[in-house]
Amino acid sequence: MTLSTIDPTVALVVIDLQHLIVARYAEHGSAAAVAKAAELADAFRERGLPVALVRAVGQAPGRTEQGAARAAAAAAAASASGTGAAPATALPPEAMDIVPELEGTGIRITKRTWGAFHETDLHEQLQRAGVTQIVLAGIATAKGVESTARAAHEHGYHVTFATDAMTDDDLAAHGHSIDVVFPGLGETGTTAEVIALLPAAPTE
């Protein structure tokens, strides 16, 4: 779907552009996604529009096959170490922080699931700001971005996807989200197309 309009009361919502996650997706274009998301954030802030930076600090507690595989790998590592415990892999303090390219004023959201709305105050903060539309960017396309988009759609927001400001380590899932799922939830466009439809930045 072609991007048709941007509401005057629009917000940018950036998903999980944290040091650790950006590093994990380095081979899948995370640097380019960060650059485009930063371009969007700058444009929104220049116009006094809300920017929500979302970071993940955990995951939902339900059993998953991927979780079981990770647990099995950890058990195997513990057995191989001969200590009965997996080797310690301490993360640096900044690992879960938002990358500096995105830092600036705005809404801060901490989540423990894929989506940014579940058990957070994102909806309440957007409502207080009078937001009717969100532009989504971040990592990963078929996980955090898509999950947030589904919830945003169900909350009644117009949803726009800056497709060059997101990436995924599964190219098939990335393409399916952009080509099949997102057109049913909102509209897609590039960073340049989104910025072109924003109101003009105030002049001094």
Handedness of CA 52, 57, 63, 69 (dihedral sign): positive
What is the maximal distance between C-alpha atoms in the chain?
66
> What pLDDT sits at residue 125?
97
Give me the mean pLDDT over the 34-42 stretch. Answer: 98
Q: Are residues 115 and 137 in the same domain?
A: yes
Q: Are residues 89 and 189 in the same domain?
A: no
Q: Are residues 87 and 114 in the same domain?
A: no
What is the per-residue pLDDT across 140-168, written as a single tens digit (0 to 9) for each? 999 999 999 999 999 999 999 999 999 99
Q: Name the pLDDT band for 96 (thresholds 50, 70, 90).
A: confident
Give me the sheet containing 51-56, strands edge to edge.
107-111, 51-56, 10-15, 133-139, 158-167, 187-189
Give me the mean pLDDT over the 99-121 stretch. Answer: 95
Residue 176 covered by a domain: yes
Mean pLDDT score of the chain, rounded to an integer? 88
CATH of the domain at 137: 3.40.50.850
* Domain boundaries, position 45: 10-57+96-197
Look at strands 107-111 and 10-15 and give their pairing: unpaired
Give me the mean pLDDT over the 174-196 stretch. Answer: 97
Q: Are residues 36 and 19 in the same domain?
A: yes
Predicted TM-score (pTM) of this structure: 0.86
Q: Is the pLDDT of residue 70 over 60?
A: no
> What pLDDT sits at residue 71?
47
Q: Is the pLDDT of residue 203 over 90?
A: no
Instruction: Mean pLDDT check: name the lowest of 11-15, 77-81, 191-195.
Output: 77-81
